[in-house]
Chains A and B, each alone.
Chain A
């Protein structure tokens, strides 16, 4: 059997209009050997989950700068569960106030990485926690 590649969806939910950060992260994950499906701006949770199903993603990475995380991130987890994709690792990043983090984790987001997190930390977290 060939070595299993980690497939990751990188999505930017919400309406803010620039995606330099998400693109940069996509490149970093690809350089770490992952197959990154970059979905672009203005993704709804439904679009993200449809992509995760069709691509059979192992990881969904959500980046939010516009304060929509409290709705969007848990909604993605919920929709994934509806599709019986409970084993998909959901991680988040962007500008997220500390006090929101426990709630997001409670909702099933595995980890939240704030701005300036060492990218190696993120990559290692994914490699250790992704479904095997």
Chain B
């Protein structure tokens, strides 16, 4: 008998959660039907993002923060994203090493994900995994991701509260400023505060935050907290800062706005990728695309005209919306 994966997910079955996440990872056609049925049951969980350089202590903080949340009676889902090697396609996902204390807790579900080359984008893949954990009843969902590339900044946009982890001695602040990562933080966490230079880094970040014109214009001044994840120090302060941000979002209605924006982006992106996939599949049949490319190369066809014709023929939208000049 076939398992009813949706019903099992809604009951919180780890086996069903993990199987459907695999389908998502493999672009298995069974995934989208499940997601459709799961969707009405999402939107309950609060989503936390933890980002920072490799080795900054994200997994250690995730472990300790999860224990804290569990002590408050909350259930936790964790999605830990690590890079796929562009050379081999493989990945080492080592986040569980730091999560030994929560590994056996039935109120915690940990899933590692490699960045791969997801068809609908990494953010989409992560967001789908988060939705499954949400539907499965997890109260808080933690996304751990390395904050360097654009992709990672993108993932973090699925989070309601973003914690940026910085450590002394990495020149992290300068790098983060360059990558535009600094601006996405709702809470700054100075981890490895047992190391020399932590106080100075803390002062520097506090100063930058106070000086940043864009950050200053916001209603939420991002707090800076110091932690020693390995010693479980500062975790209460970190949890309090997150809770304060959550309360701010909820009371100011910003949470609704944020999620509204996210829903809009996500929906458009889903349509974008699915259209792209469908048109590509159609054009790839019988070497149609190869023929078109040859025609274009020999200037018998024109890519601009072709694009316009494709849209006109295959989308039933008002002419004014598919005109090349429409804005």
A47 and B116 form a contact (CB under 8 A) = no
A36 and B103 form a contact (CB under 8 A) = no
A54 and B18 form a contact (CB under 8 A) = yes
User: A43 → chain B, closest Cβ, in Å?
Assistant: 8
Partner of B110, one of A2, A32, A46, A54: A54
- Tell me if A20 counts as interface (CB < 8 A to partner B): no
- Tell me if B114 counts as interface (CB < 8 A to partner A): yes
Max chain A C-beta neighbours (<10 A), residue from B26, B97, B109, B111: B97
Chain B: residues with Cβ within 8 Å of the partner, total of 34
Q: Which of A22-30, A67-75, A106-114 contacts B (4 or more CB under 8 A)?
A: A22-30
- Tell me if A56 counts as interface (CB < 8 A to partner B): yes
A33 and B111 form a contact (CB under 8 A) = no
- Tell me if B326 counts as interface (CB < 8 A to partner A): no
The 8 A CB mask of A29-55 against B (1 = contact, 0 = none) is 111111111111011101100110111
Max chain B C-beta neighbours (<10 A), residue from A36, A46, A54, A56: A54
Question: Measured between alpha carbons, how far is A32 from B98 in the docked complex, in Å?
Answer: 25
Question: Measured between alpha carbons, how far is A3 from B119 in the docked complex, in Å?
Answer: 12
Residues of chain B within 8 A of A132, CB atoms compared: none
Q: Which chain A residue shows the least CB distance to B118?
A: A2
B90 and A34 form a contact (CB under 8 A) = yes
A4 and B26 form a contact (CB under 8 A) = yes
The 8 A CB mask of A72-102 against B (1 = contact, 0 = none) is 0000000000011100000000000000000
Residues of chain A within 8 A of B312, CB atoms compared: none
Q: Given A1-B28, A2-B27, A32-B88, A54 and B109 touching (CB < 8 A)?
A: yes
B104 and A30 form a contact (CB under 8 A) = no
The 8 A CB mask of B85-117 against A (1 = contact, 0 = none) is 100111111101110100110000111101010
B15 and A2 form a contact (CB under 8 A) = no
Residues of chain B within 8 A of A42, CB atoms compared: 100
The 8 A CB mask of B275-289 against A (1 = contact, 0 = none) is 000000000000000
User: A47 → chain B, closest Cβ, in Å?
Assistant: 5
Q: Given A1-B27, A2-B26, A54-B109, A38 and B97 touching (CB < 8 A)?
A: yes
Question: Measured between alpha carbons, how far is A43 from B223 in the docked complex, in Å?
Answer: 37
Residues of chain A within 8 A of B92, CB atoms compared: 26-27, 30, 36, 38
- Tell me if B14 counts as interface (CB < 8 A to partner A): yes
Residues of chain B within 8 A of A4, CB atoms compared: 26
B94 and A38 form a contact (CB under 8 A) = yes
B90 and A31 form a contact (CB under 8 A) = yes
A47 and B104 form a contact (CB under 8 A) = yes
B112 and A55 form a contact (CB under 8 A) = yes
B88 and A31 form a contact (CB under 8 A) = yes
Residues of chain B within 8 A of A40, CB atoms compared: 94, 96-98, 100
6 new A-B contacts, CB < 8 A, other than A35-B114, A40-B96, are A36-B92, A37-B93, A47-B103, A54-B17, A54-B110, A85-B15
3 closest A-B pairs by beta carbon, nearest first, are: A40-B97, A30-B90, A56-B18
Interface residues of A (CB under 8 A from B): 1-2, 4-5, 7, 26-27, 29-40, 42-44, 46-47, 50-51, 53-56, 83-85
Interface residues of B (CB under 8 A from A): 14-15, 17-19, 21-22, 25-29, 84-85, 88-94, 96-98, 100, 103-104, 109-112, 114, 116, 119
